[in-house]
């Protein structure tokens, strides 16, 4: 029961209240279990907030975090986007491993009262990793979108275009759940894991001349960028 409440909050934050089926179920579970579970009752206040408010708040929060990361850590954001473009299968593979590992830990910890805080912590870590990784994903997605249209711009425009595209996908009926709760966390977690291992530990960095304000250097075609062998 408590797992449904926690996952309801997680899905609501990541997929948006516009996809409110799981939100309604989790809210009912929270109200039903409020008398016998301190943790369930603690979430009642959240489900009393109108869904459009929580959706709008999380959208602004995600975009603000992405802009902040790009502003203060542009190199990290670009490198993460490079791994998404150059090594998509490696990113997805690492993401699946991380996602499954976190999910198994949550299921194990949620079965005991003492493990509930740990399960909540793990769920928060998953959300935080997804939130931070979304900067690189939005940058890469925005670049692919504008590049396919023949547009040239700067990093913040790429990021804005990618972030809006991601939020649009989150709002799709039914599919928005799969995007927000599974696909995005897998890609973002995989990007972070790959970046930490390949970038910080093995010191493998990409040269990414196609992102930035200097467009005097010719950019490779989109196909060459994606299929480039390093």
Q: What is the DSSP letter of 49?
A: S
The whole-number pLDDT of residue 18 equals 55
Tell whether the model's pLDDT for residue 16 goes beyond 50.
Answer: yes
The whole-number pLDDT of residue 74 equals 87
Torsions phi, psi for 150 (to 5 deg): 80, 20
Mean pLDDT of 138-165: 87
Query: d(Cα 112, Cα 132) in Å, to the nearest integer?
Result: 30
Q: Give the residue among 55, 47, 58, 50 at the shortest CA–CA distance from 24.
A: 47
DSSP 16-42: -TTS-HHHHHHHHHHHHHTTT-HHHHH
Q: How would residue 76 be classed by pLDDT, with cut points 50, 70 and 90?
A: confident
Sign of the Cα pseudo-torsion (43, 47, 48, 52, in order): positive
Q: Give the residue among 163, 207, 188, 180 at the shortest CA–CA distance from 91.
A: 188
The whole-number pLDDT of residue 20 equals 63
Q: How would residue 137 be classed by pLDDT, with cut points 50, 70 and 90?
A: very high
Whole-prediction pTM = 0.78
Query: CB neighbours of 162 closer than 8 A, spacing ≥ 6?
Result: 137, 138, 139, 140, 141, 142, 143, 145
Tell whether the model's pLDDT for residue 37 goes beyond 80.
Answer: no
Mean pLDDT for all residues in the chain: 79
The larger pLDDT score, comparing residue 187 to residue 225, is at 187
């Amino acid at each position: 029961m408590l797992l449904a409440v926690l996952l309801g909050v997680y899905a609501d934050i990541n997929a948006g209240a516009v996809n409110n089926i799981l939100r309604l179920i989790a809210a009912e579970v929270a109200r039903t279990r409020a008398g016998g579970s301190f943790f369930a009752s603690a979430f009642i206040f959240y489900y009393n907030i109108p869904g459009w408010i929580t959706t709008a708040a999380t959208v602004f929060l995600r975009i603000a975090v992405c802009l902040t990361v790009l502003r203060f850590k542009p190199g990290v954001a670009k490198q993460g986007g490079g791994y998404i473009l150059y090594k998509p299968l490696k990113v997805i593979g690492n993401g699946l491993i991380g996602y499954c590992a976190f999910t198994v830990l949550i299921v194990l910890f949620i079965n005991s009262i003492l493990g509930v805080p740990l399960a909540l912590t793990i769920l928060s870590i998953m959300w935080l990793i997804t939130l931070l990784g979304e900067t690189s994903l939005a940058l890469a997605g925005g670049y692919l979108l504008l590049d396919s249209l023949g547009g040239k711009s700067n990093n913040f425009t790429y990021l804005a275009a990618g972030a809006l595209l991601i939020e649009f996908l989150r709002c799709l009926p039914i599919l928005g759940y799969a995007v927000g709760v599974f696909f995005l966390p897998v890609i973002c977690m995989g990007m972070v894991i790959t970046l930490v291992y390949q970038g910080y530990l093995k010191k493998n960095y990409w040269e990414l001349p196609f992102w930035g304000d200097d467009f005097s250097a010719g950019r490779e075609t989109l196909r060459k960028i994606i299929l480039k062998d390093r």
